[in-house]
Amino acid sequence: MHIAILLGSVREGRHSHRVAHYLQARLSARPGVSAALLDLREYDLPVFSDRWQHQETPDPALIKLGRELAAADAMLFISPEYHGSYTGALKNAVDHYWKEFHRKPIGVVSTGSGRMGGINGSIQMQQLILSLGAYPMPLKLLVPFVREAFGPDYQPANEDLAQQADRFLEEFCWFGQALSAARAAAPLRK
């Protein structure tokens, strides 16, 4: 199973990238699983407009990201909570695509600077996933106090967080494999 990890934090001084790197390493260590980290900071996507879809030569960053998303069997959306929601960078990236997400299982990871761990942002991401015609995993990974949660070595600062992440990944892999198998067995008719 190939997993695309879409990292929605692009600002200087971010901390969510540590969570993304940790999860990528944990997923890649599982037999039969590969994980690609798609860091939106590296793509320099234009602000969404349907004009690019009518151009003869669309933006290369959009083509590259679209191919990466299309190749995924399942996905993780990772975003800090900004003002009760996910980042504008994540929303902008998602707005450029549809078929790349359609009928795919997607897990949600939200971070926050306080004790709630970005719960409002996680709920908003699940609603976004439904709007894409994809399947949000019910269990979410919430990372409170993100500044202290992971060290610069991308390792969790405490055993409780490591156990929560392992439980989340176990559930995500089951969810992703089950829905990917169902999707392959019953493709959409054109």
Query: Does the pLDDT at position 190 exceed 70?
Result: no
Within a domain: 167 = yes
Is 190 inside a domain boundary?
no
H or E element at residue 36: strand 34-39
Q: Cβ neighbours of residue 31 under 8 Å, at least 6 residues apart?
A: none
Q: What tens digit of pLDDT does each residue of 81-140 get?
A: 999 999 999 999 999 898 999 999 999 999 999 999 999 999 999 999 999 999 999 999
pLDDT digits (tens, 9 = 90+) for 126-178: 999 999 999 999 999 999 999 999 999 999 999 999 999 999 999 999 999 99
Q: What pLDDT sits at residue 53?
A: 58
pLDDT at residue 137, rounded to an integer = 98
Nearest to 124 by CA among 158, 82, 153: 82
Residue 98 C-alpha from the chain's centroid: 15
Give me the number of domains the chain comprises: 1
Helix (H) or strand (E) holding 23: helix 16-28
The pLDDT, as a whole number, for residue 183 is 87
The pLDDT, as a whole number, for residue 186 is 85
Query: Could you tell me how far CA 58 lies from the centroid of its own chain?
Result: 24
Residue type, 167: R
CATH code at position 64: 3.40.50.360
Query: Does residue 101 lie within any of the structural domains?
Result: yes
The residues with which 156 forms a beta bridge, in sequence order, are 150
Question: Residue 142 in contact with residue 108, Cβ under 8 Å?
Answer: no
Q: Which domain holds residue 134?
A: 2-185
